[in-house]
Amino acid sequence: MRHLVLGGVRSGKSRLAEKLAKNYDLPVTYLATARAGDTEMQARISEHQRWRPKHWSTQEVSDSRLPEELARLLDQPGVVLLDCLTLWLTQLLCDQPLNAQGLARVDACLDELVEVVQQKPKAHLILVGNETGLGIMPLDELSRAFGDRAGLLHQRLAEVCESVILTAAGLPLILKGSSPWLD
């Protein structure tokens, strides 16, 4: 089963994803993509770490190696929880020059990720991403490149995932599929 859990900042998406992972009653690998670039981000990461059960395995991959690592993890039984797609995308964009070649490298990496998710995994997969396309059109080129790619990535993943859930105010809104664990 592949779940895509979307929502805004502090919408409850990560907690919902963790609830889904716990309900499988299988070994969980938490694939963390955030980089602690400042003290505020380190505090956010620490908060997420405190929420997670101690027996979960955590791996940190915040760069273009993510699709390869995800493919490896999905080839074994269990649950893989990837949090967060949009933080990962932000870091990919910031690691490349903002030109046609740099954006092509980012797009190729996104294509690779979608290809990995499209495969029939042995593990259950829970993907978490920020739904950022509900606001105004950004003024700068980097923000527009991010918004376009995040929106298209979410659309492509929603197409291949059996379950898509949008969180708002801590509440799950099921967009595709169903989950008896959310009742």
Between CA 83 and CA 104 the distance in angstroms is 24
Burial class of residue 176 (count of CB atoms within 10 Å of its CB; 0-12, 13-18, 19+): middle
Instruction: Write out the E strands in the chain.
Output: 2-7, 28-32, 57-60, 79-83, 124-130, 163-168, 171-176
In sequence order, which residues have a C-beta less than 8 Å from that of residue 100 and are 6 or more positions away? none
One of 48, 55, 124, 154 is an active-site residue; which one?
A: 48
Between CA 148 and CA 94 the distance in angstroms is 15
Residue length, the chain?
Answer: 183
Active site residue 48: yes
List residues with catalytic annotation.
Answer: 48
